[in-house]
Amino acid sequence: MQTEKLLSRFGGQVVQVDAFVSDIKERSDKLMNYFLLAFYVVGLGLAFFYDTWLVAIGVGSLSLVAYYSVKLAAKGSNLYQYVLSTVYGIFMAQFIYQMHGLFEMHFIAFVGSTILVTYQNWKLQIPLAIVVVVHHALFGYLQYIGYDEIYFTQLDYMTLRTFVIHGFLATTIFFICGLWAYQFRKNTEAHIEQTFEMGRLQEEKLQKEALEQSNEELTKSNKELDRFVYSVSHDLRAPLSSMLGVVGLCETATNDPFMQKNVSMLKMSIKKLDGFINDILDYSRNSRTELHREEIHFNKLLEDITSNLKFMCNDEQKQVEIRTTVGNGVPFYSDKSRLMIILNNLISNAIRYYNPETENPYVVIDVNISKDAANISISDNGIGIAREHQKKVFDMFYRVSKKSVGSGLGLYIVKETVEKLGGTMNLTSEPGKGTKFNLHIPNTQAN
């Protein structure tokens, strides 16, 4: 049925469809109660004039009992509607009999046929049509062969031609009523579909408006975040740079070991705070800004990074050797600023967590470029990372121990930035022997 297709198509509105169809059925049932009562009363009225009480009470009551019994016994089924159609045909036969063959009372069947249209089910015309045809054929034949008190027609008998004409006209009316019921059902289903479609379009419109509003709010938030980033980079880092300058002057202006120790601690704290601010800026830029594709020259990139990091070690630390190897066979394209964030964090971590018990600490950066990707490995012979910490070191603000320096954002930013570039990364490490990071960064020249 078309209704079932609608239920399948508008699965989210099944409850509304059921409610709509149930409302039609409920209204029709109420209307039928009035008509059945009216038919029963008409039968009693005819009995008063024609002295046919037995037929009026007996046949009429049995018809009502049959209808309401089926309706109560088969709840949730439409069987009672087909019984109702049959009952209307029986009332027609009852009235014709009560009026001693007033054949015009067969119009009662047409009244019932019209009333059944309210259920919008053309099949309900079938039981009524069968009762009418069988009644006319059987009673017409009985009267024709001479049975008395059949009360089918006030004529001597109905000729075959008259029977055929009456049958044709009756079935034509039943067909027309069935067609009306079918068309009403189609219109109802079209109305339901149109209503749901309008609701869907309205919902899409509301979602679109909500999305546009959300985008406006997001744009506003991004602008506010841009202002905050500018404030962080300018209003916070600038005073820190000034403080470092002043601390540097103090450091050179005194030879007092106590003062030098405290000034050194102050200098280290300022650098730590500056590094934390820098990590926040890197994270903010990575999450907000679009990828900027340009050709990457790894030799120059690594030279700039290592030049900035070669003074990381303080006087108490051993100098960490940085070795680089670049297999630059084909041009490589990616986001330079993001690659610098990744490499700077990984190389600085390798230097920061060198193994003081190792005679010659080192960091090895090996880059192999193909037309599809750059495979980068950064390995060291540092203190390493215990197995239970290896899956957690990429979490935000995770620090292996209280002795760990830094903000706890470095490796988290590295992971987020690698994913932003569409790459992958894995870690292998053994405590006391060192750590190795393997990166796979797509070459956007291949796209």
How confident is the prediction for the chain on average, in pLDDT? 79
Q: Which residues pair with 324 in a beta bridge?
A: 365
Report the 10 Å Cβ neighbour count for 415: 17
d(CA 332, CA 372): 9
DSSP state of 315: T
pLDDT at 271: 64
pLDDT at 327: 85
pLDDT at 37: 93
From residue 128, alpha-carbon distances to 82, 164, 367, 423 in Å are 8, 17, 89, 75
Q: Residue 446 pLDDT > 90, yes or no?
A: no
CB 369 within 8 A of CB 330: yes
Q: Mean pLDDT over residues 425-438, rounded?
A: 90
* pLDDT tens figures, 111-130: 888 999 988 889 999 999 99
Q: Which residues pair with 335 in a beta bridge?
A: none
d(CA 105, CA 97): 9
* pLDDT tens figures, 342-392: 998 898 888 888 888 888 899 999 999 988 899 999 999 988 888 888 888
DSSP state of 236: I
Query: Which structural domains are found in the chain, ordered by start?
Result: 2-205 (no CATH), 291-446 (3.30.565.10)
Q: Residue 265 pLDDT > 50, yes or no?
A: yes
Q: The tokens of 439 are what?
A: 């990166």
Name the amino acid, one letter, at 387: R
Q: The tokens of 35 are what?
A: 């008509």
Q: The tokens of 240 are what?
A: 């820190």
Q: Residue 394 pLDDT > 90, yes or no?
A: no
CB 147 within 8 A of CB 162: no
Give the SS3 label for residue 255.
Answer: coil
* pLDDT tens figures, 6-18: 444 444 445 555 6
pLDDT at 9: 47
Q: Residue 145 pLDDT > 50, yes or no?
A: yes
pLDDT at 63: 93
CB 247 within 8 A of CB 266: yes
pLDDT at 311: 64
pLDDT at 389: 83
* pLDDT tens figures, 303-336: 888 887 766 665 456 788 888 988 877 889 998 8
Paired sense of beta strands 321-327 and 294-295, if any: unpaired
Residue 436's pLDDT band, with cuts at 50, 70 and 90, is very high
**CA nearest 377: which of 356, 355, 350, 395?**
350
Q: Residue 41 pLDDT > 90, yes or no?
A: yes
Residues 6+ apart with CB under 8 A from 344: 305, 308, 309
pLDDT at 400: 63
d(CA 66, CA 127): 15
Q: The tokens of 265 are what?
A: 């601690």
% of the chain residues with pLDDT over 70: 74
* pLDDT tens figures, 185-237: 888 777 777 877 887 888 888 888 888 888 787 777 666 666 666 666 656 65
Residues 6+ apart with CB under 8 A from 37: none
pLDDT at 2: 45
* pLDDT tens figures, 42-53: 999 999 988 889
Q: Greater confidence, 238 or 159?
A: 159
d(CA 380, CA 322): 9
Residue at token pair 């709509």: 20
* pLDDT tens figures, 55-110: 899 999 999 999 999 999 988 788 999 999 999 989 988 888 887 766 677 788 88
Q: Residue 397 pLDDT > 80, yes or no?
A: no
Q: Mean pLDDT over residues 412-431, rounded?
A: 89
d(CA 346, CA 367): 14
From residue 122, alpha-carbon distances to 25, 99, 126 in Å are 14, 31, 8
Residue 286's pLDDT band, with cuts at 50, 70 and 90, is low
- The DSSP secondary structure of 131-179, one letter per residue, reads HHHHHHHHHHHHHHTT-TT--S-SSS---HHHHHHHHHHHHHHHHHHHH
pLDDT at 4: 47
